[in-house]
Structure 1
Amino acid sequence: MAVSTVVEGAGEIGETRDAARNFLESLQAVHGFPVSQRAVGVVQLVVSELVTNAHKYAPGPCLLTLEVSEGAVAVTVWDSSTALPLILPPDPARVGQHGLEIVMAVCRSFEMHREPVGKRIRAAVTLADDPDGDPAGHQPV
């Protein structure tokens, strides 16, 4: 199950968060997928960060796709720039530019690929939390 939407401008970023929440609510209510409240919040955060970056660093619209696979929702954003974002090392003294660092910390997987035109960034978020109460997709430290 998947849904895609073209995002024309930064003014639509709030709408993409709403669309992500609606998609997850439908997965749970209509299709019976287990979706934790944590997953809803994390997916909205990831959507917001990836779509914001696409509009900040690439000209033109971007394409947001949400797809369920293997107990996770994949958030994929395509944009027109072939430049892959720099993943900066954690630095508590740095002001700003922690978005992808946070996305990578809360997601089960994260990958970036150049395309013949543009690039795709994909982050997967586990839908259900561990029955023992550990956040899904992460190992206790």
Structure 2
Amino acid sequence: MELLMADRATEQDLQASGTGTVLGSAAYDMGSGEIARTRGFVRDFLTDARSLHGLPVSARAMDVAQLVVSELATNVCKYAPGPCLLDLEAGDSLLSITMWDTGSVLPTSRQADPTRMGQHGLEIVLAVCESFEVRREPVGKRVRVEISLLDGPQSEAAW
């Protein structure tokens, strides 16, 4: 895979594996301005996956994927500033988003509280994703989520 340098981020070209899966990766030195870049990377990745590789990507999936990446990137900026890796894998009507950062504290969901200002990111991610996994790494942690590329979550009809 060829690495492309853009500002402070390293982004890899969209790649298709031999299995009908489309892969993309980007590395960021997280600061608040990088959150928009992560959303843009996801948008461009999904646009190319649809137009170049024929994967079904609904408008809902496009919006949800950008929202989820934005929430994950915001968490990195707040709690683990520094390098961050973003891996995307699309295929079989699912998008897998994996984000690695240097922070050692694992995210935990809090009890829903409509009066709480902020700190609703994980609640949002859990509500819109098919799956959520977080694990410690030798350095930092890795968060992996899956999103349906179709109009609705895999487990229910489109809405």
TM-score under structure 1 normalisation? 0.89
Task: Find the partner of 1:121 among 140, 143, 152.
Answer: 143
Which structure 2 segments of 5+ residues have no match? 1-21
TM-score (norm 2): 0.80
The equivalent of 2:18 in structure 1 is: none
Of 46, 49, 52, which residue of structure 1 is paired with 2:71? 49
Residue 93 of structure 1 aligns with which residue? 115
The offset of 1:138, in angstroms, is 4.7
User: Does structure 2 conserve the Cα–Cα contact (< 8 Å) formed by 1:51 and 1:64?
Assistant: no
Match of 1:75 among 90, 93, 97: 97
Match of 1:132 in 2: none
Runs of 4+ that moved beyond 4 A: none
- Once residues 139 and 90 of structure 1 are traced to their aligned partners in structure 2, the CA distance between those partners, rounded to angstroms, is 23
How many residue pairs end up in the alignment?
A: 135
Over residues 14-45 of structure 1, what are the superposed CA-to-partner deviations in whole Å (9 max), with x where a residue is unaligned? 11111101100111101001100000000000
SS of residue matched to 1:5 = strand
Moved more, 30-39 or 11-20: 11-20
Which 10-residue stretch deviates more, 65-74 or 23-32? 65-74
How far 1:92 moved relative to its partner?
A: 1.7
Q: Residue type matched to 2:133 in 1?
A: E
Query: 1:34 pairs with 40, 45, 56, which one?
Result: 56
In the other structure, the counterpart of 1:5 is 26
Higher relative CO (Cα under 8 Å, sequence separation at least 6) belongs to 1
Determine which structure has the larger strand proportion and give its number.
2
Contact 1:71 1:127 in 2 (8 A): yes
Superposition RMSD on alpha carbons, in Å?
1.4
The answer to whether the 8 A contact 2:36-2:70 is kept is yes
Contact 2:55–2:91 under 8 Å retained in 1: no
* Mapped partners of 2:112, 2:89: distance in 1: 29
